[in-house]
Structure 1
Amino acid sequence: MKRTLLTVAAIVCLAFNADAQISIAKGWKINIGDSPEWSSPTFNDADWKAANVSVPWEANGYPGHDGFGWYRNHVVIPTWLKEKAFLKDSLRISLANVDDRDEVFLNGKLIGRLGGAKGDIRTSGNWGPREYKISANDPAILWGKENLIAVRIFDRDGDGGMYGTNYKIGMVDITDGIAYDAGSDFWFGDKGLVGKTIKLTASNTDTFSGRLSVLLTDPETGGIISQQSADANFAKGRPFNFPFRVVAPQAKSYRLDYNFEDAKTGTTVSYTESTPYILTPPVSSKPRINGADVFAARPGNPFLYLIPATGAKPLKYKVDGLPDGLKLNPATGVITGSVPAAGTYPVTFTVSNLRGSKTKAFNIVIGNTIGLTPALGWNSWNAWGLSVDDAKVRTAAKTMTDKLAAHGWAYVNIDDGWESAARLPDGRITTNSKFPDMKALTDYVHGLGLRMGIYSSPGDATCGGYLGSLDHELQDAQTYAEWGMDYLKYDWCAYSKVAPRPDLTALKKPYYVMTEALAKLNRDILHSFCQYGMGKVWEWGAQVGGNSWRTTGDIEDTWQSMSGIGFRQDAAAPFSQPGHFNDPDMLVVGKVGWGPRLHNSRLTFDEQYTHISLWSLLASPLLIGCDMGQLDKFTLNLLTNDEVIAIDQDALGKGALPTVKNANYQIWVKELKGGAKAIGLFNMSDSYQTISLDKTSPELSGFTKFRDVWRQQYMVVSGKTLSAKVAPHGVLLLRVEK
């Protein structure tokens, strides 16, 4: 599904009391359909299928299922939970994420529904984490005995079911009001110095005092690197601030454990995170030309391209061989105009400053196929959701110009939430008050040398309930062209009312209709299909005019979501080609939150390296989903490594395929232009492991140069194997050449 709201605390990391809860992540069973007797503890579910509740029900063997399904779990609720608790009033059941709507039963009694919302299960409620409380004296609880938890779910579209990591039963406690506010950014000093300030906060009326300890350990060896502690006193509106600094011996991630022991209850409240580490080398003051080797436009249509280049400013730009109809601004590197005649035009870029000059061969292709390399840009959804507005988009554009455009990032895309409540009398769509002048906003973005994107749905409404394009496709396309748009994300959403059980023809139809509308414009607009991979869209997306197509449901910022999506792209990978790319959804690095409140990505720093590496190997559109106004140093490190970006932007346009795929590690290989390869060695386990490749293996046979792409340095490989220690959920990204 496309979610309309994600209920995650902004920068607050909720604490937990490990001594007063039990895990219920195992033992779940699933059945598709709907029956009231499935809530009963006496119902025999012996023939139900075992469920993996860390992933959606599609991954449990029910691909494409929308509608009702049930989960059941038989759980002993021990009496010691109540006996050990400081407060003994209420029991809490946490059930990770529900997609989309739920009713939860304990031994046949309904104890919660729709995350607390009101309404019908088919139409109300929303995707997100679930937590329900019940009185400890309620006779529905069988203390010390087996209890039946049954969860009824209705899924609208896309991914469905119940999935995530937080499945627990515990007692409500006064320390539930304690949270770690770990949202401040890490700072970096010389020689491995790293630090930040954390806060202990209280949301209830209690005053807390006790001892806070911070432990830094090496996840590879288990050795203790640093221990710090302090007396902590805090209350609502009066947080405890604890600044700390540590010296990280190596450029890798270390484990940070925060433990607060409350003096009153003896309860320990804990939170764990990891330290960031920077691998991308600093940008040289000498000129360097970055980005793809090719850019395309249709004959006679407006052309806009900013030569991406780094180096000490001011930079001077020059282009030899520029075709008639195009002109270069030598001070900004922006090429504009239009080329009437189809053809491939080889040109040479030259960028110079006081430290030297650099040249690069480049092809300008004028023809029917545009978007020859995956889109590089930003999309508003994963940060702002429906709270996006003109100011946030301008901030994203200005930040892209200042920090990212020199590395090839070019698109600034508005997602859902810009549309007015009703069309104009002539049927034209217009903007709501958050976007007072869309044409002026687009002109601003174009004036920076960047390109602009917008969002709609083939249904009568978008996922957020705004106006869709149904029966207004050409009219909307013409409006987008008048505003100056360069990109359209077209999201299935309410079209499910038009085609509730679509066959292949019905799946193709709305996208073909919009493709035809876009083809009638005197403007190039990339067409991005967002329909969650239905009908194996990768097999036909190019035929229907897609420059990219979503292959999956929505991503969230967890390892289960990101890895579950990214490492399941093998079937789609062979269909990636110049102008037509698989899209496993937007990036979840930096500060995200689906608006308006944000939090740091819940992916560990190792997992974020994996995220960017895998998406680049897959030749995916790279669409940043964070608050561009708060780009921290680590996130910039992820987004400005030109050798990593070059893998994504390789002119062959091929997606990587796995050559080794098991529970412990995976190896994915991407063919590159000129005979080179990009190889990702991914550690799928929760501990460090050594991953090795024989030099005579198919991945390495014939290659003699091995480059660590993140560190931008060649590896010295002696002997018959290439071996590397890879962090948990981490990656070694290689480029190999002969």
Structure 2
Amino acid sequence: MLAFAFSAALGNGLALTPQMGFNDWNAYGCNVSESLIKSTAQAMHTNGMQAAGYSYVNIDDCWMTHNRDSGGRLVPDPAKFPDGTKRTADYAHSLGLKLGIYEDAGTATCAGDYLKYDNCNNNGVSAQSRYTAMRDALAATGLPILYSLCNWGQDNVWTWGAGVGNSRRTTGDISANFAGMLSIFHSNVGLASYAGPGHWNDPDMLEVGNGSMTATESRSEFSLWAEMAAPLIAGTNLPSVSAEILSMLINSRVIAVDRDPLGKQGTMVSSSGGRDVLAKPLANGDVSVALFNETGSTATISTTAAAIGKTGASAYTLTDLWSGASSTTSGTISASVPAHGTVMYRVAGGTSGGGTGVTGAVHAVGAGACLDVPNSTTTAGTQVEIWSCNGGANQTWTHFASHQFTVCSGSSQMCLDAYNNRTTPGTKVGLWSCNGQSNQQWTLNTNGTITGVQSRLCLGVAGGAIADGTLAELQTCNGGSSQRWTLG
């Protein structure tokens, strides 16, 4: 079956891989100035960041006066930009960099080459209409302007943003601490099916090197953002950045994962007790794996080649993307991960197929309805149901070669789960955090049935009913229409 079709990408030829650059807000807030932007551009030009792929120097809020000129044009604050923004842009261009600017889709702001368009003071006007109007205005200029939507993840922007902008914020504002970063990660990780070349999910700018973020936590953020194919927009003091933080920001192995031309956002393979495994398929057949420890103590985190979609080899090569060290494994992928830390491997060998998955609605043949997460709940143990097909995220499932079925419910990615590892007919089938166990593995059979790997029973509609709200359960396979499904 064909993958589920979301809104088409913008098609302006920009951000075919996630954009990279700098934004002043996280480090400086409203204290932006011409001298700050120029010194930052110079630092990026000489410290290796530009060579690593950071090409945009973005000015955030507070660069302008509150009033337009007589011609209706925005006016740079003369105290902050005495030579105007054009001279600043000219300076960035002279270094081979590009300049970005901030504006707002409302009546006032929140306090070139790239436009970050915010959402403050919007007076309740439809976000989609406001952002679409600016898309059309940018297109009318005929200039290659990367368009970054910043509506804080409201209005399910991931469902319509692809055709409007090159990236869209999927979350509220990030903060410079581990808890804030972790919350943002959880909000974005389940939205992989909506991202791709030219239209990326944006979990906000990097806090690497800022606030209370330790080096370990900063490395985790950079790893996770790369694994999620997110824009890499540095937000720290670059003219004074430490050697340790700079080395993170220009790690070519991790950046290559983020900007891999296949354009797939990594997905959660398993998550249990704060121990997360993510996998991201890469264009050459390798798979990037991130082992992330959310907990406050060192933990061993493990997965397998099969779970990340790798098969067909007696040995696989693991390259540690932070240390550069290589090792081999017959299948187990495991590491001791420090508290709040992340280990990243690039896994080579064999064949790949599980990372990309097949995405779409799961249609109940007998009922003419779709497998549905009730009210987009994120409550573990909730039994799934059938409901009239509506194209919602809570009816959009991805099946991987590792046999997991995942769904984006609310802003969380969860797995289809046979309750409590039970293997008897009538066992409820519902949602649970992905953990890689066999009760979360399902086989799509050529006769249209879906069977549990652990139970060998069929996914069925209770009582063979066709009404909206009828629950799904495990059943003894009988070939009936209430046990047949199509994906796509």
| More RCO (CA 8 Å, sep 6+) | 2
Q: Distance in 2 between matches of 1:487 and 1:683?
A: 35
Asked if 1:489 is matched to 2:116, the reply is yes
Match among 337, 340, 344 for residue 726 of structure 1: 337
Cα deviation code 1:350-370 (max 9, x no counterpart): xxxxxxxxxxxxxxxxx7432
Name the structure 2 match of 1:231: none
> CA offset at residue 661 of structure 1?
1.2
Q: Which amino acid aligns with 1:563?
A: L
Q: Distance in 1 between matches of 2:304 and 2:239?
A: 45
> CA offset at residue 635 of structure 1?
0.6
Correspondence 1:547-626 to 2 at 5 A: 547-590=166-209, 592=210, 601-626=211-236
Distance 1:720 1:553, change over 3 A: closer
Name the structure 2 match of 1:670: 280
Correspondence 1:282-361 to 2 at 5 A: none
Distance 1:696 1:582, change over 3 A: closer
Match among 411, 421, 438 for residue 56 of structure 2: 411
Q: Is the 8 A contact 2:320 2:343 kept in 1?
A: yes
Name the structure 2 match of 1:516: 136
Name the structure 2 match of 1:398: 42
Correspondence 1:212-231 to 2 at 5 A: none
Match among 426, 438, 442 for residue 71 of structure 2: 426
Q: Distance in 2 between matches of 1:663 and 1:720?
A: 23
TM-score (normalizing by structure 2): 0.67
> CA offset at residue 695 of structure 1?
4.1
Name the structure 1 match of 2:387: none
Cα deviation code 1:630-689 (max 9, x no counterpart): 110111111111010011111111111101012230001111112111110111211111
Cα deviation code 1:527-570 (max 9, x no counterpart): 10000111111111012x21000000000011111011113323
Q: Which amino acid aligns with 1:422?
A: N
Q: Distance in 1 between matches of 2:117 and 2:136?
A: 14
Correspondence 1:150-169 to 2 at 5 A: none
Name the structure 2 match of 1:707: 319
Match among 68, 71, 87 for residue 440 of structure 1: 87
Distance 1:684 1:448, change over 3 A: same
User: Bigger CA drift: 566-575 or 518-527?
Assistant: 566-575
Q: Is the 8 A contact 1:696 1:702 kept in 2?
A: no
SS at match of 1:542: helix
Q: Which amino acid aligns with 1:533?
A: G
Q: Distance in 1 between matches of 2:15 and 2:308?
A: 31
Larger Rg computed on CA atoms: 1
Q: Is the 8 A contact 2:12 2:144 kept in 1?
A: no
Asked if 1:687 is matched to 2:297, the reply is yes
Distance 1:440 1:705, change over 3 A: same
Q: Is the 8 A contact 1:542 1:580 kept in 2?
A: yes
SS at match of 2:347: strand
Q: Which amino acid aligns with 2:118?
A: D
Aligned residues: 334
Q: Is the 8 A contact 2:165 2:199 kept in 1?
A: yes
SS at match of 1:567: helix
Q: Is the 8 A contact 2:208 2:219 kept in 1?
A: no
Correspondence 1:73-88 to 2 at 5 A: none
Asked if 1:463 is matched to 2:110, the reply is yes
> CA offset at residue 579 of structure 1?
0.5
SS at match of 1:630: coil
Q: Is the 8 A contact 1:706 1:714 kept in 2?
A: yes
Unmatched 5+ stretches in structure 1:
1-366, 465-484, 500-505, 593-600
Q: Distance in 1 between matches of 2:248 and 2:296?
A: 22
Distance 1:453 1:609, change over 3 A: same
Unmatched 5+ stretches in structure 2:
1-10, 350-488
Structure 1 or 2: larger strand share? Answer: 1
Name the structure 2 match of 1:539: 159
> CA offset at residue 700 of structure 1?
4.2
Structure 1 or 2: larger helix share? Answer: 2
> CA offset at residue 698 of structure 1?
4.0
Q: Distance in 1 between matches of 2:187 and 2:257?
A: 19
CA RMSD, aligned part only? 1.4
Q: Is the 8 A contact 1:705 1:737 kept in 2?
A: yes
TM-score (normalizing by structure 1): 0.44
Q: Is the 8 A contact 2:215 2:245 kept in 1?
A: no
SS at match of 2:141: coil
Q: Which amino acid aligns with 1:451?
A: K
Cα deviation code 1:83-126 (max 9, x no counterpart): xxxxxxxxxxxxxxxxxxxxxxxxxxxxxxxxxxxxxxxxxxxx
Q: Distance in 1 between matches of 2:124 and 2:303?
A: 51
Name the structure 1 match of 2:240: 630
Asked if 1:376 is matched to 2:14, the reply is no
Q: Distance in 2 between matches of 1:673 and 1:642?
A: 16
Q: Is the 8 A contact 1:424 1:430 kept in 2?
A: yes
Q: Distance in 1 between matches of 2:145 and 2:341?
A: 36
Name the structure 1 match of 2:367: none
Q: Distance in 2 between matches of 1:684 and 1:587?
A: 18
Taking only the aligned residue pairs, the percentage that are identical comes to 39
